[in-house]
């Protein structure tokens, strides 16, 4: 007969055991992932070495996959496709020019999906130089790449899931770009879907690129972190706006898609409100968007502009930052930061406008997906048409 202990202390103890066991399961899964990827890395190194020093032929990987699957039938990681990924993963992070050409040549000889081959070939070819490099320069570049990788700490690759690793090396063109996404996946705990979105939106080249006066208006640690936190441009590809949208419509659309908006803003942004009222003197004002940045420990005022950046926008933002500092900022909060999001900007004009502003602010552009006029819609392929064509390519 099943015992029925209803004592509160016993139930609390069971809850503690459950939580402790779940934490142990998570730690065990992370450790297994680490050891498995470390094995993959060493296996990739062995494969590359064998292909360079033996004459086992182009079907070597087929035989390797078959033999390993015979020995370990329950292990999925020894499929031919996965073994090819393992080899390419290792090659990507230890790339020399000759390695890139070898990958292209080997892909022509081995059975691999045409779609995957196209992706990999494009990725590898993009890394090859446009001009012929002398052997001395080639060796030097190869040594620099490997040295850079070792300084970065290869162990980071083993701290994220295998699927994340595959997505990164297939979609990134350079090692520094891949390292950026690996490090940020560890830092922010990105799912694979979020990771792919960040890569496809080219976060690597947008992160920290905002035009700002942070170095003049904030102390060194805070200014550096603020610069890294903001980006340029912001990609609002989850919005479909008509060509004649106004700023209030853009603001409403961003709030309606607040989850995706926060994802694009980045880690640490907490939404505080839109059209936030603030009274200065006898007049009432309203700020477009107000956030609190938990990593920076400060308020962030965002002003949306449908038009190109104009110098007077900085003056208005300076006013809002002053008001938030006076009326919202609490003890322990860092100085409020302003971000002007505009359709486009002249870099020199933006820098001039910020040069004598004494409040910290940045200026970035945003990109939207515009709705096409009705007369053009009928000429575009439907989702069904695209799926049918995609399936045809696969078959």
pLDDT in tens, 41-90: 999 999 988 888 888 887 889 999 999 998 888 888 899 999 999 999 99
More confident of the two residues 113 and 35 = 35
301: left (phi over 0), alpha (psi -120 to 50) or beta: beta
With cut-offs at 50, 70 and 90, classify the pLDDT of residue 299.
Answer: very high
* Predicted pLDDT of residue 85: 93
Quick check: is 42 in a domain? Answer: yes
Cα–Cα distance for residue pair 181/204, rounded to 1 Å: 8
- Domain match, 189 and 298 both: no
Quick check: is 385 in a domain? Answer: no
Range of the structural domain that residue 30 is part of: 8-205
- Domain match, 342 and 218 both: yes
Query: What DSSP line would sit under 234-254, residue for residue?
Result: EEEEEEEE-TT--HHHHHHHH
- pLDDT per residue as tens digits for the range 179-206: 999 999 888 888 888 899 999 999 999 9
With cut-offs at 50, 70 and 90, classify the pLDDT of residue 242.
Answer: confident
* Predicted pLDDT of residue 245: 82
Q: Which residue has the tokens 């992070």?
A: 93
pLDDT at 207 over 50: yes
- Domain match, 200 and 313 both: no
- Domain match, 58 and 93 both: yes
Cα–Cα distance for residue pair 180/205, rounded to 1 Å: 10
- Domain match, 193 and 126 both: yes
- pLDDT per residue as tens digits for the range 339-361: 999 999 999 999 999 998 999 99
- Domain match, 247 and 182 both: no
- Domain match, 274 and 335 both: yes
Number of domains in the chain: 2
- pLDDT per residue as tens digits for the range 249-266: 889 999 989 888 998 999
- Domain match, 256 and 135 both: no
Q: Domain boundary residue among 205, 234, 266?
A: 205
Helix (H) or strand (E) holding 139: helix 135-152
Quick check: is 388 in a domain? Answer: no
- Domain match, 151 and 38 both: yes
DSSP 8-state secondary structure symbol assigned to residue 335: P
Quick check: is 395 in a domain? Answer: no
CATH number at residue 335: 3.40.1350.10
* Predicted pLDDT of residue 379: 46
* Predicted pLDDT of residue 343: 92
Beta-strand relationship, 298-304 and 337-342 = parallel
Cα–Cα distance for residue pair 90/355, rounded to 1 Å: 47
Quick check: is 292 in a domain? Answer: yes
Give which of 291, 303, 322, 297 is closest to 222, Cα–Cα: 297
Quick check: is 392 in a domain? Answer: no
Report whether 290 contacts 324 (CB < 8 A).
Answer: yes
What 3-state DSSP class applies to 216? helix
Quick check: is 3 in a domain? Answer: no
Nearest 5°: the CA angle 249, 253, 258 is 145
**pTM, 2 dp:** 0.68
- Domain match, 330 and 295 both: yes
Q: How large a percentage of the chain has pLDDT more than 70? A: 76
* Predicted pLDDT of residue 384: 52
* Predicted pLDDT of residue 206: 92
Helix (H) or strand (E) holding 392: helix 383-394
Cα–Cα distance for residue pair 389/395, rounded to 1 Å: 10
- Domain match, 181 and 253 both: no
Length of the chain: 395
Average of per-residue pLDDT across 29-52: 88
- Domain match, 262 and 196 both: no
């Amino acid at each position: 007969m099943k015992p029925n202990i209803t004592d509160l202390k016993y139930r609390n103890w069971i809850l503690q055991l459950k939580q402790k066991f779940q934490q142990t399961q998570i730690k065990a899964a992370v450790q297994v992932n680490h050891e498995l990827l470390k094995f993959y890395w060493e296996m990739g190194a062995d494969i590359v070495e064998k292909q360079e020093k033996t004459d086992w032929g182009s079907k070597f990987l087929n035989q390797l996959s078959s033999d390993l699957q015979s020995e370990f039938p329950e292990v999925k990681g020894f499929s031919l496709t996965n073994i090819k990924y393992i080899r390419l993963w290792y090659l990507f992070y230890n790339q020399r020019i000759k390695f890139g050409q070898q990958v292209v040549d080997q892909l022509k000889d081995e059975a691999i999906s045409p779609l995957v081959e196209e992706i990999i070939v494009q990725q590898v070819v993009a890394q090859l130089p446009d001009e012929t490099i002398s052997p001395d320069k080639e060796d030097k570049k190869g040594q620099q790449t490997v040295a850079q990788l070792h300084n970065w700490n290869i162990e980071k690759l083993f701290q994220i899931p295998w699927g994340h690793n595959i997505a990164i090396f297939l979609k990134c063109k350079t090692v520094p770009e891949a390292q950026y996404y690996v490090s940020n996946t560890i830092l922010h705990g990105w799912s694979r879907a979020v990771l792919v979105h960040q890569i496809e939106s080219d976060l690597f080249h947008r992160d920290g690129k905002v035009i700002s006066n942070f170095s003049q208006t904030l102390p060194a640690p805070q200014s550096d972190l603020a610069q890294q936190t903001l980006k340029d441009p912001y990609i609002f590809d989850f919005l479909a706006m008509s060509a004649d949208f106004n700023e209030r419509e853009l603001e409403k659309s961003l709030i309606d898609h607040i989850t995706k908006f926060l994802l694009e803003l980045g880690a640490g942004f907490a939404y505080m409100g839109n059209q936030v009222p603030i009274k200065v003197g006898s007049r009432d004002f309203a700020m477009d968007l107000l956030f609190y940045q938990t990593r920076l420990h400060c308020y962030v005022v965002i002003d949306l502009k449908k038009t190109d950046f104009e110098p007077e926008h900085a003056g208005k933002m300076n006013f809002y930052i002053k008001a938030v500092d006076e009326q919202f900022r609490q003890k322990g909060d860092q100085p409020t930061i302003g971000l002007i999001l505009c359709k486009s900007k002249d870099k020199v004009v933006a820098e001039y406008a910020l040069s004598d502003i004494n409040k910290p602010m940045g200026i970035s552009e945003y990109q939207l997906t515009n709705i096409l006029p009705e007369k053009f819609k009928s000429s575009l392929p439907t989702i069904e048409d695209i799926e049918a064509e995609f399936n045809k390519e696969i078959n």
